[in-house]
């Protein structure tokens, strides 16, 4: 039976949840069926995904706060990115932030009940000078706030990852972005293998890994599945799932391949293929999920609060209301349930 025929017949979604909870990976045919299911099956799919999410994460939602600590001026040609060398997008460009600005951002993140402070810099990999500034900023934030720290610094080697771990970084982000077969279509200045090597260097230094991707880049359903299976093989801990914001001035300007129901099916698939991982609805959720954002929390257990790298996010109070109205609670830095919500 083909994936199409499975999708048009009645699939037992709870059986797929049983399979995920037992630790068994879905077959490619089953994964294709999740993505190809009709809209009439969507609530049943979400119920199955929620059962898996609840087993591992309860009703907790973890908040991440994203700081773009160095913007623009990147020599890479990632086609989706407003900061790349081939982008003409009108964005703010600046070198690595002064320490007082980073500490002010950390204070805001802490006040917003973020469990993780994510520090991001543009570029292929950090220069020695910028890397030293990053290490100093990490030490200062770690000394003053209880949040976990995630650093996104581009390509890294084992020596750099060891220094990050010693400074207090808990996790490093480096997204795979898409399936390996599709990677050359969205970037030519580095490879899928380069990204995998960075993740392996992070793990060798004893830190956990954060890696996910972007949907709406022209990928096939096989590419969606391939990336999930690669993340599973790499035993990635945290998985941010972005939905393309087609920023004017980038090569993907005007692309619109997604709709809210398809985004939800992708979230369901990733929960079933990555049952124990933290799955975060990241950039583009406001643009692509629109009024269905709350439903995404039944598969995912984490969101960014505040703005993204070069695009604005939803108002913070709207995020709190969404979490509260759906019956979820906030998760603290160490996984604890937090009683208070601003």
Residues acting as catalytic residues? 74, 78, 81, 118, 150, 210, 280
Instruction: Tell me if 125 sits within 8 A of 153, measured CB to CB.
Output: yes
Evaluated on CA atoms 136, 66, 336, 318, the torsion sign reads positive
Closest CA to 80 of 232, 233, 215: 215
Between vectors from CA 282 to CA 120 and to CA 223, what angle results, nearest 5°? 105
Distance CA 180, CA 198 (A): 15
Instruction: Tell me if 76 sits within 8 A of 251, measured CB to CB.
Output: no
Distance CA 82, CA 80 (A): 7
Please, which residues bridge with residue 120 across strands? 68, 152
Look up residue 125 and give its two tokens: 């990999």
Cβ burial, residue 46 (10 Å; 0-12/13-18/19+): buried
Containing H/E element for 119? strand 116-121
């Amino acid at each position: 039976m083909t994936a199409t025929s499975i999708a048009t017949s009645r699939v037992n979604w709870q059986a797929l949840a049983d399979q995920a909870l037992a630790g068994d990976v879905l077959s490619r045919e089953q994964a294709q069926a999740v993505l190809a299911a009709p809209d009439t099956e969507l609530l049943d799919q979400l119920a199955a995904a929620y059962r898996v999410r609840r087993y591992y994460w309860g009703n907790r939602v973890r908040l991440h706060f994203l700081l773009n600590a160095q913007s623009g001026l990147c020599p890479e040609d990632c086609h989706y990115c407003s900061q790349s060398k081939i982008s003409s997008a009108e964005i703010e460009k600046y070198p690595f932030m002064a320490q007082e600005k980073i500490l002010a951002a950390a204070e805001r993140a802490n006040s917003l009940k973020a469990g993780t402070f994510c520090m991001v810099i543009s570029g292929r990999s950090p220069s020695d000078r910028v890397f030293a500034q990053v290490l100093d900023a990490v030490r200062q934030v770690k000394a003053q706030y209880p949040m976990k720290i995630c650093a996104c610094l581009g390509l890294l080697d084992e020596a750099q990852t060891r220094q990050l771990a010693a400074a207090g970084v808990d996790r490093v982000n480096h997204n795979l972005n898409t399936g390996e077969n599709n990677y050359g279509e969205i970037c030519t200045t580095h490879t899928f293998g380069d990204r995998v090597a960075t993740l392996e260097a992070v793990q060798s230094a004893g830190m956990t890994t954060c890696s996910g991707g972007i949907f709406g880049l022209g990928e096939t359903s096989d590419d969606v599945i391939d990336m999930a299976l690669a993340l599973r093989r790499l035993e990635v801990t945290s998985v941010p799932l972005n939905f393309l914001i087609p920023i004017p001035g980038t090569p993907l300007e005007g692309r619109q391949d997604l709709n809210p129901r398809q985004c939800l099916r992708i979230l369901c698939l990733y929960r079933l293929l990555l049952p124990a991982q933290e799955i975060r609805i990241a950039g583009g959720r406001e643009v692509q999920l629109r009024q269905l954002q709350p439903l995404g929390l039944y598969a995912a257990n984490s969101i960014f609060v505040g703005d993204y790298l070069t695009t604005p996010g939803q108002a913070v109070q709207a995020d709190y209301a969404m979490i509260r109205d759906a019956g979820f609670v906030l998760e603290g830095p160490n996984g604890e349930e937090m009683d208070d919500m601003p």
